[in-house]
Amino acid sequence: MLVALAYESGRAGLPRPRLTVEPGRWVVGPAGITLYRVAAVKGRFAIVDGGMSDNPRPALYGARYHARLVGRRSSDPLVPRTVVGRHCEAGDVLAADVPLPADLRPGDLLAVPVTGAYHLSMASTYNAVGRPPLIAVRDGRARVLLRRETAADLLRRDVG
């Protein structure tokens, strides 16, 4: 590729450009996992305690994720479910038709991998929902990097 770049830039009478690679999402994306708690299960839908306020990528440009039950084992068959957020918006879909256990129930935890890039940096307080915490885990030890945003945090900005 560099040879072709040198050739073509020389042929066009331009100085050879300097290429820089910024891996960004390729490195950071797989490093993040988002945990959601199932709030309700309605037919093929699993409603979770987050959604487009903490991860607007699916609503903004169609990013889709996978989800997996964590924290307990299930021997039930897997059935396709669509994981949706709490915001009652048509675009608040985090993962469509992902295989999840038939006995999925409120209180279960779902892990959504590859959310390290842009997830929290794009989060908002949409519908007055506070932003989630950011937890670092290394060698089995967890450490809070950003605490969960509280109702008091949101109200503190209100000057009316």
- Does the pLDDT at position 135 exceed 70? yes
CA distance 89 to 52: 9
The model carries a pTM of: 0.82
Count structural domains, the chain: 1
Cα-trace Rg, the chain: 21
pLDDT digit string (tens) for 92-112? 999 999 999 999 999 999 999
- Taking the alpha carbons of 160, 54, 69, 138 in that order, is the dihedral positive or negative? negative
Rounded-to-integer distance, Cα 104 and Cα 6, Å: 57
Which CATH number characterizes residue 105's domain? 2.40.37.10
Asked whether residue 155 is assigned to any structural domain, the reply reads no
Task: Find the catalytic residue in 88, 136, 145, 151.
Answer: 88
Question: Residue 135: which H helix or E strand, with range?
Answer: strand 134-138
Query: Does residue 130 carry a catalytic annotation?
Result: no
115 touches 55 (CB < 8 A): yes
> Is residue 101 domain-resident?
yes
Give me the domain span that covers residue 53. Answer: 30-129
